Chain A
Amino acid sequence: MNTEALKDLLYRLADDQLILGHRNSEWNGLGPILEEDIAFSSMAQDKLGHSLQLYTLLHQLGEAEPDTVAFTRNAPQFHCTQLVELPIGEYDFSLIRHFLFDHAEILRFEALSHSHYEPLAQVARKLKGELKYHILHANTWIKQLGSSTEEAIERLQNSLNYTLPYALGLFEKTAAEDEIIAAGIFVGEDEIKTRWQENITKILRQTALELPDAATLTPVYGGRTGEHTEHLQPLLDEMAEVFRVDPTAEW
């Protein structure tokens, strides 16, 4: 097995967690109701924990310490999708992003819990249990708001239409794809995408929302190879501010 292909997969997983974790944390103090403030903050904490476990696996494969990896790279070195770096916007957008992202994420970690790379399988078994609560949270609100007032439905529908091409970018394949599938490390993006479409369709059918036909959309690719929106670098600058002033600071 080529370690570079494995590292590529781990960076994609870890960077998505770190960046969306940071974005979720921006709801701290701003949530539309106290419970949502706590929910997004808790999910942020989970996602940062997930990224730490994945960066630790990378460290075991010879990469730098997790903090160094998280705080010293610039945007072109990040492998996250553009979906996760978009600003939090209004609550409807953040909810739709959370719904689309976490449904893909839980399938990814379920599949990875059978990975032939045992250290990753162990971490995946742990994370998928925690992700159930993210799914429960997303489904509850999508079902509730997606069949409530005209304004709620219209806002969610607009966000869904806007976000879906970015969400399809989650399944962007890299040059490592064939190799990680052949080595039994991961089932591959196509497989996850098919299951994801089934799962989100099941939930959306219980609402007044309509899932746009993915076949007619152009997925937003590029994130996996370091092409990012103008929103990522300011996020990194803010996240790493303390570390860049004093790498030994504890807080």
Chain B
Amino acid sequence: MDKATILTWLEAVKDPEIPVLSLVDLGVIRDVVISETGRVTVKMTPTFSGCPAMDYMQRDVVQTLQAHGIADVTTEMSFEEPWDTNMVSEKGREALKNFGLAPPPAYQGILDLDILEYAQCPHCNSHDTELRTPFGATLCRSMHYCNNCRQLFEQFKPV
């Protein structure tokens, strides 16, 4: 049992609100620590501080590893390395797009208002879109309208 194997197993744990996205690709699993006695600690960080899915994610991580025969497993939530959307992997971005959710635009340095309002349509790839409301069906989504294909779409909002 090593860290790489555990991370592969954790690929199976999906975001309960976006079932195509693994927690590893989402970036909420920050580290896996295996102690000398074999205790596995999965270090996680929340996406949004009020996200109700975090409890489910922790439970799913524990259950998945237990199913692989790891008896001594715990999760640890920390803000030490706070999550931001730049932590979503390339694979994760692709999965979001295929799911119909515009992936969060990568940004450098400070996230300014221009980035919050920008989204590329996941259906027709147009950049001619406008922000309708910064809040959506879940805390991590905003709603946009595409002027090109005239569809309303959601974006995994950048933070």
Contact = CB atoms under 8 A, between A and B. Distances in A.
Given A38-B133, A133-B116, A45 B79 contact: no
A39 B133 contact: yes
Contact of A49 (B51, B82, B132): B51
- B48, B80, B113, B116: most-surrounded residue (chain A CB, <10 A): B48
Interface residues of A: mostly helix, strand, loop or mixed? helix
B113 A136 contact: yes
Contacts of A125: 79, 82
A210 interface: no
A133 to B, nearest CB: 4
Contacts of B137: 38
B79 A46 contact: no
Interface residues of B: mostly helix, strand, loop or mixed? loop
A35 B143 CA distance: 9
Contacts of B82: 122, 125-126, 129
B106 to A, nearest CB: 15
A42 B51 CA distance: 10
Given A46-B49, A53-B49, A129-B84, A136 B139 contact: no
A50 B135 contact: no
Contacts of B48: 46, 49, 130
A22 interface: no
B24 to A, nearest CB: 20
A231 interface: no
B86 to A, nearest CB: 11
B116 A132 contact: yes
Chain A interface extent, by class: 20 to 34
A125 B79 CA distance: 9
B139 A46 contact: yes
B105 interface: no
A119 B77 CA distance: 13
B135 A38 contact: yes
Interface in B139-159: 139, 142-143, 157, 159
B69 interface: no
A167 interface: no
B16 interface: no
- B80, B111, B139: most-surrounded residue (chain A CB, <10 A): B139
Given A52-B50, A129-B111, A136 B79 contact: no
A132 B111 contact: yes
A164 B49 CA distance: 29
A49 B49 contact: yes
Contact of B134 (A50, A52, A126, A133): A133
Interface string A88-130: 0000000000000000000000000000000100110111011
Contact of A38 (B78, B83, B116, B136): B136
Given A130-B159, A136-B116, A122 B49 contact: no
A51 to B, nearest CB: 9
B98 to A, nearest CB: 25
A143 to B, nearest CB: 12
B72 to A, nearest CB: 24
Nearest to A39: B135
Nearest to A42: B135
A137 interface: yes
Interface of A: 35, 38-39, 41-43, 45-50, 52-53, 119, 122-123, 125-127, 129-130, 132-133, 136-137
- Shortest Cβ-Cβ A-B pairs, 5 listed: A49-B50, A42-B135, A122-B79, A49-B49, A35-B133
